[in-house]
């Protein structure tokens, strides 16, 4: 059995002293990573608890442009930082140790280090999966997914070893937007949300894996029972198409896949993702192009899969999680979406195949990610420099 080296953290006043992390970043469109830091610890003043709606909100740590968060089996938290750093956070103290060996990322626009997810059998194999923007020829870039073995040291940091790229966006293109590159495991398969990189037409082009939801084996190979298997190497990866910028990807308790994605000017979407489904972008959308040109609404083209919810004005969804914990039993089976421009946490209720926004909680900051913790709390990361890691529990 694989057992990564673990540390026993002793809570003391010394661990509540803030350890400053550098905020340096590469200019837009260039490759680079931020220098390794000692991590940041929430001091006594910063680690406050405040009330927002039904939540007691505790500040755990401050990070540099956090993008994704995932819990390890021992309760510690992996957090990716978009400029190119990976942190291991001791949630009891807020201390964030550095994980070395992160691949070089293209940092700029919406690009950089993306998702980080442990393998479902992490306790046995020590594997973590990560997505990031990877440099191509000339001024091009594309999302990539790699896996590596995580070795944790006694100081609360560690390194990635034996890193292997197992998937890439095809083709790499110019521009710095719509990588999406959200990843999730379910039923022994690896699922990847691939944005259309602001190029529109690739969402309908089966020679490209842009604007698609993809289903792969854990080593990056293609399952023989995928809906478009046998239609070419790239098309064989595809589970669904016609997506724009799907930044949230999650399975509900019954095993149904849902995605939440940014629309253009209006028309953010929550979609029930079905095998072989075509969600219509850029042919249809309940939003319009940013230059004012109209896009036909979904109801004009019934051959395309329609969204379960659309939002205009937009919420700018960043992430999606289904709740199954005990701290909020009244919300079991609900989903939570992080909102960027809406600066909110959005709760979604479901009734079979239909869904509705049930409540919106103003958070006072752009919300980049949300996860359910092993304690049943909701764990949230704010977007941007000095983005906070927050733990949400019932107010009373």
Long-range contact list for 292-299, CB < 8 A, 24+ apart?
292/265, 295/264, 295/267
Indicate if 178 belongs to the active site: yes
Q: Residue 241 — φ and ψ, nearest 5°?
A: -140, 180
135 close to 141: Cβ distance less than 8 angstroms:
yes
Find all residues with CB under 8 Å of 89, minimum gap 6, and list them.
39, 60, 61, 76, 77, 78, 79, 95, 96, 97, 389
Total Cβ atoms within 10 A of residue 153 = 17
Catalytic residue, chosen from 178, 181, 243, 298, is 178
* Tokens of residue 263, six digits: 């629309």
Dihedral angle of Cα 298, 348, 240, 266, to the nearest 10 degrees: 40
- Tokens 């092993």 identify what position? 374
The residues facing 213 across adjacent strands are 193, 240
5 close to 154: Cβ distance less than 8 angstroms:
yes
Q: What angle do CA 205, 223, 279 make, to 5 degrees?
A: 35
To the nearest 5 percent, what fractions of the chain are helix, strand and coil?
Answer: 5, 45, 50
Report in angstroms the alpha-carbon separations of 85 from 66, 69, 113, 218, 380.
Answer: 9, 12, 7, 24, 18
Question: Which residues are catalytically annotated?
Answer: 178
């Amino acid at each position: 059995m694989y057992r990564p080296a673990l540390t026993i953290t002793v809570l003391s006043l010394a661990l509540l002293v803030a350890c400053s992390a550098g905020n340096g970043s590469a200019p837009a469109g260039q490759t680079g990573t931020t220098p390794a830091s000692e991590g940041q610890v929430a001091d006594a003043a910063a680690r406050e608890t405040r009330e927002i709606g039904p939540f007691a909100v505790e500040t755990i740590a401050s990070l540099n442009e956090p993008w994704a968060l995932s819990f390890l089996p021992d309760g510690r938290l992996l957090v990716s930082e978009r400029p190119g750093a990976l942190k291991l956070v001791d949630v009891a103290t807020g201390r964030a140790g550095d994980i070395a060996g992160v691949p070089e990322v293209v940092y700029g626009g919406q690009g950089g280090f993306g998702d980080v997810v442990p393998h479902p059998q992490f306790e046995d194999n020590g594997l973590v999966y990560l997505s990031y923007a990877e440099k191509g020829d000339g001024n091009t870039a594309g999302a990539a997914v790699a896996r590596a073995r995580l070795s944790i040291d006694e100081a609360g940091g560690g390194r990635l070893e034996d890193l292997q790229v197992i998937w890439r966006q095809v083709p790499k293109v110019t521009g710095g937007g719509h990588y999406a590159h959200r990843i999730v495991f379910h039923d022994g398969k690896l699922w990847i949300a691939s944005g259309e990189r602001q190029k529109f037409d690739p969402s309908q082009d089966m020679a490209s894996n842009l604007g698609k939801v993809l289903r792969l084996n854990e080593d990056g190979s293609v399952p023989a029972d995928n809906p478009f298997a046998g239609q070419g190497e790239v098309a064989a990866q595809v589970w669904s198409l016609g997506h724009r910028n799907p930044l949230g990807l999650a399975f509900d308790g019954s095993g149904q896949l849902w995605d939440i994605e940014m629309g253009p000017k209006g028309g953010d979407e929550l979609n029930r993702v079905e095998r072989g489904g075509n969600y219509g972008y850029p042919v249809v959308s309940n939003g319009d192009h940013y230059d004012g040109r109209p896009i036909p609404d979904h109801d004009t083209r019934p051959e395309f899969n329609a969204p379960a919810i659309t939002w205009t004005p937009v919420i700018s969804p960043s992430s999606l999680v289904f709740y199954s914990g005990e701290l909020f039993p009244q919300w079991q089976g609900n989903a939570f979406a992080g909102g960027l421009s809406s600066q909110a946490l959005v709760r979604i209720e479901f009734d079979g195949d239909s869904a509705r926004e049930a409540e919106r909680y103003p958070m006072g900051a752009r919300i980049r990610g949300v996860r359910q913790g092993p304690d049943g709390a909701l764990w949230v990361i704010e977007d941007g420099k000095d983005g906070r890691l927050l733990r949400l529990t019932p107010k009373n």
